[in-house]
Copies of this chain bind each other. A is one copy, B any other.
Amino acid sequence: MISFGARRMHPAIVPMIERSAYIGGCDAVAVGKSAELIGAAPVGTMPHALILVMGDTLTDTRAFHEIIDKTVKRVSLIDTFHDEKFETLNVAEAMGKDLYAVRLDTPGSRRGDFLKILQEVRWELDLRGFKDLKLFVSGGLNEEEILRLNPVVDAYGIGTFISNAPVVDFAMDIVEIEGKPLAKRGKWSGAKRVVFCPHCRARKILPLKDKQDLCTCGKAYIDLLNALLSSGKAVQTLPDPRPIREFVLGQLASL
């Protein structure tokens, strides 16, 4: 899965959004600046603009193949002018083993049942021996559609659906004054610890003075609240996105 949603948010925060997309599970990002922040190469395919200017998908795919560095996998974008089935067969037969994948970005007005289009394309490719050619899809897909398309799709470019999120409605409140618990109505008073057990993944809120160190499963808690800034200075080095992403995916696995 590649993060494709950068152009839909304010440019000032795009690198942060794509870094979050990577941490949340995307395999790569499409914007150069964002990829740099992550420490990886940006990923994408040829755009529709190139095909419109070249005038024809096959001409364009051949030109791309001739000029672009051989380390880049050849992915032909095949929905610009013609029906997906015939254009895919046309390009696959002309390019043969040089073609790694076709990308379908089928416009919404033509996408009656995207799964059926993809199954038909897969059938026609297999019938002609192109069993290794991959299918890459994009275009306003969300998490329900991805689950449905998974049996036939090899890769996704996801934009709108992961470029924003519901606002988290948090608040900052005083809960203790000179060591004495005090909070407005509706807030629990007293300084607190938030502890996490890396073994059984339990989380618990405790009074700060509660020095309890062991989870009910017998293993030691980790404190989740740690100072990152002190007197305006960073007091910890932030981990790279990669280990954070691994921690997130580990949590998903345990759901």
B-binding residues in A (CB < 8 A)? 5, 7-10, 12-13, 16, 48-49, 51-53, 79-83, 85-86, 106-114, 116-117, 120, 123-124, 127-128, 140, 160, 163-164, 166-170, 172-174, 177, 181-190, 207
Contact = CB atoms under 8 A, between A and B. Distances in A.
A203 to B, nearest CB: 16
B172 A7 contact: yes
A103 to B, nearest CB: 13
Among all A-B residue pairs, the 9 with the closest Cβ atoms: A107-B186, A109-B116, A111-B112, A83-B185, A109-B113, A80-B184, A12-B12, A164-B167, A110-B110
A186 B108 contact: yes
A86 B168 CA distance: 28
B13 A10 contact: yes
Contacts of A164: 164, 166-167
- In terms of DSSP, what is the predominant structure of the interface of chain A? loop
A86 B52 CA distance: 13
B12 A185 contact: no
Contacts of A16: 10
A198 to B, nearest CB: 25
A131 to B, nearest CB: 13
Nearest to A7: B172
A108 B113 CA distance: 7
A106 B127 CA distance: 24
Contacts of A51: 184
